[in-house]
Amino acid sequence: MSEKATLDRLLAKDSVIVLCAVAAVTLIAGLYTVLGVGMQMSAITMTSMAGSVGAPMEMMGAQSWSGLQVMLMFLMWWIMMIAMMTPSAAPTLLLFSALKRNGSEGNEYLMQVWLFLAGYLTSWAAFSVVALFLQWILREVAVLAPAMMTLKGSLVSAGFLAFAGLYQLTPLKKACLRQCQSPAQFLTRHHRPGRLGAFQMGCHHGLFCLGCCWALMLLLFVGGVMNLWWVAGLALVVALEKFSPAHSHVPAILGIALIGFGALIAASGA
């Protein structure tokens, strides 16, 4: 067998390993989210009880959070982000694995792949802290139904939708999305050697991903943080954007649609 054929076989094997790891992480995180571990209700129950946008079901008064509840809420956010965002990172992970296979000896490259993924997910852990803090603020100002974790009032929901839609049209959104759409360009420009470098690259890629998707993730408050229809829908939107050709009109079309939806919600007074 030629050296090239051997390398191709090894790269194919690496691809299977990386894709299986991505699938396993996504599946475990998805099951955690669906079962609503540590929450009052499972995501399935909350989805079945979801009302129209801006008019969630009121079940009980707000209760103060204990330290344990704060930790569980953080894990809910972070693990949900892992389930939603890990699949869209697969192309970058596959290319990173191939590059490290060509440039490293032994199994060191695999460790660097896992550290890259860990860095990527660490960025989303940071977002989860911010989302949790925003959730607490929304509870305190009484615009969030505590049990359903959904915004109350058509104007508040419309404001979130319009804000997310406007962000879709900004240069920052476009710049971050280009980095997500071009894994080769990102890995070339931001390459760092070694294990620490792999973790830093993962964090860096995660920050670009955050810059691309954070406003969309806040729309979970509109439909319900654990509403599976919204979770799945936003995950599909993120994948559509990232896998669409560079300079496509998908983000702009989505932005205009979100602004229109917000205007419709505001006008309906739902």
Q: pLDDT tens-digit profile of 78-136?
A: 999 999 898 888 888 888 888 877 665 456 777 888 899 999 999 999 999 999 999 99
pLDDT digit string, tens, across residues 19-60? 888 888 889 988 888 887 767 777 787 777 766 775 666 666
State the Cα–Cα distance between residues 42 and 54, nearest whole angstrom: 21
- Is the separation of the CB atoms in 153 and 143 below 8 Å? yes
Q: What crossing angle do the helices spanning 108-140 and 90-103 adopt, rounded to 10°? A: 150
The tally of domains found in the chain comes to: 1
State the Cα–Cα distance between residues 257 and 220, nearest whole angstrom: 16
| Max Cα–Cα distance, the chain, nearest Å | 69
Read off the tokens for 60. 């009980």
State the Cα–Cα distance between residues 178 and 188, nearest whole angstrom: 14
- Is the separation of the CB atoms in 47 and 226 below 8 Å? yes
CB atoms within 10 A of CB 184: 11
Quote the domain boundaries for residue 73: 3-268
pLDDT digit string, tens, across residues 125-142? 999 999 999 999 998 888
- Is the separation of the CB atoms in 78 and 125 below 8 Å? yes
pLDDT digit string, tens, across residues 197-210? 899 999 999 999 99
